[in-house]
Amino acid sequence: MFITRNMKMADAIHHNHLLLPVINRLGIQLGFGDLSIEQLCDEKGIDIDFFLMIVNAFLDHDINKTMKLDNVSVEQVVVYLKATHQYYLERMIPEVENRINALIQHSDIDQKQFLLVKNFFEEYKHEFYAHLKHEEQSIYPYVLEVNQANKIGKLEEDLLQKIQNEPIDSYAEEHTDIESKLFDLKNILIKYLPESKDSYLRNQVLNALFKLENDLNDHSRIENMVLVPMISVMENELLKSC
């Protein structure tokens, strides 16, 4: 289903509740009654076209079909990506951690069996944090700098050097896949831990991991298929102009 401006926001959420954190990050919180997406965006001062592109990209996964890059502002994309990082750090990662701890505390299986899960997740968390930090401290500032230079049509010497030495394509090539390790962790829980009498807590960990993986896939797609191509075009234009 394609989300449109006249659709009621509540209907979009009933269609796919995984949109909830996405609309939160875009500036909409629950309690919107029967308002349409357009009415809500107007009320909150949210760019409706950007909103529709992000939610449809999340649902459809084919960004080329849902996003017309000419209409997208780099600043908006970066604000959205940063809000997503914050949501991972403050909500999703602690949620997975809490569920792993509850599983270890209350399961009937020997606690030592779970050390593998806990250690695996600890390692993952370090890599995950390093990934986010690199993007926030290096990549996003660079992206905004290129965008600004492109807007004013002026390329300073230090930015020229950066474009020549570390263009956005080099980030794209090294952009590590932070979702694949989650797949391995899910498999430990699904396949390799011994059977227990009650799978409820294990399912809870798995649910949180599936949710995080799904959200991260969307996040990386926006970085790779929206941010990178936009900045790549700007870099080429700037290089041509000097």
Rule CB under 5 A: which residues touch Fe ion?
135, 223
- DSSP per-residue string spanning the chain: ----TTSBHHHHHHH-TTHHHHHHHTT--S--TT-BHHHHHHHHT--HHHHHHHHHHHHH--HHHH--GGG--HHHHHHHHHHHHHHIIIIIHHHHHHHHHHHHHH-SS-GGGGHHHHHHHHHHHHHHHHHHHHIIIIIHHHHHHHHHHHHHT---HHHHHHHHHS-HHHHHHH---SSHHHHHHHHIIIIISPP-S--HHHHHHHHHHHHHHHHHHHHHHHIIIIIHHHHHHHHHHHHHH-
Report the nearest approach of Fe ion to the CB of residue 22 (Å). 15
User: Nearest approach, Cβ of 10 to Fe ion (angstroms)?
Assistant: 29
Closest to Fe ion by CB, 39 or 217: 217
Name which of 215 and 223 has its Cβ closer to Fe ion: 223
CB of 168 to Fe ion, least distance (A): 13
Nearer to Fe ion, 218 or 223 (CB): 223
Nearer to Fe ion by Cβ, of 99 and 219: the residue is 219
Minimum distance of Fe ion from residue 62's CB (angstroms): 20
